[in-house]
Amino acid sequence: MKIHFSNQGNLRNFRNFVNSVDFSEPEKLEISTHDKWIAVHPANIVIAAALALKVGRKNACILGKVPKTGLYLDRMGLYSLTNTSSPFAYDKKESSGRFVPLTIIKTANEQSHFC
């Protein structure tokens, strides 16, 4: 499978994003990005994360040189679901109040943290 994060990843372009996902080769996932900058809606990241979980970490990767705006992919936790190391070095701050990073919920107790 192949996913591309473009520079037009807002919600109004969600249909274009979903239609551009290449589901061939379902045993692996390759994520690519626009070369200069990206704009990614959280829904797009969730789809990428779900597919990365489906194929497994060793079969998911983020290809090429990711622009500086790709730091968002790391902050949201997408790199931790792939076999690609994050190219970004920064001080991680507490995310509460700003965003909720990708979180895998397996039990009802884990779900209650978000209610």
pLDDT digits (tens, 9 = 90+) for 50-99: 999 999 999 999 999 999 999 999 999 999 999 999 999 877 776 666 77
Contact, 95 vs 114, CB < 8 A?
Answer: no
**CA angle 65-61-91, nearest 5°?**
60
The predicted pLDDT at position 115 comes to 52
Secondary-structure percent of the chain, ordered helix, strand, coil, rounded to 5: 40, 15, 50
Q: Can you give the pTM of this predicted structure? A: 0.87
The predicted pLDDT at position 57 comes to 96
| Token pair recorded at residue 46 | 């969730």
What phi, psi does 99 have (nearest 5°)? Answer: -165, 165
The predicted pLDDT at position 96 comes to 63
Q: How confident is the model at residue 112 (pLDDT cuts 50, 70, 90)?
A: confident
- Cα maximum dimension of the chain: 41
- Which tens digits make up the pLDDT trace of 4-41? 999 998 899 999 999 999 999 999 999 999 999 999 99
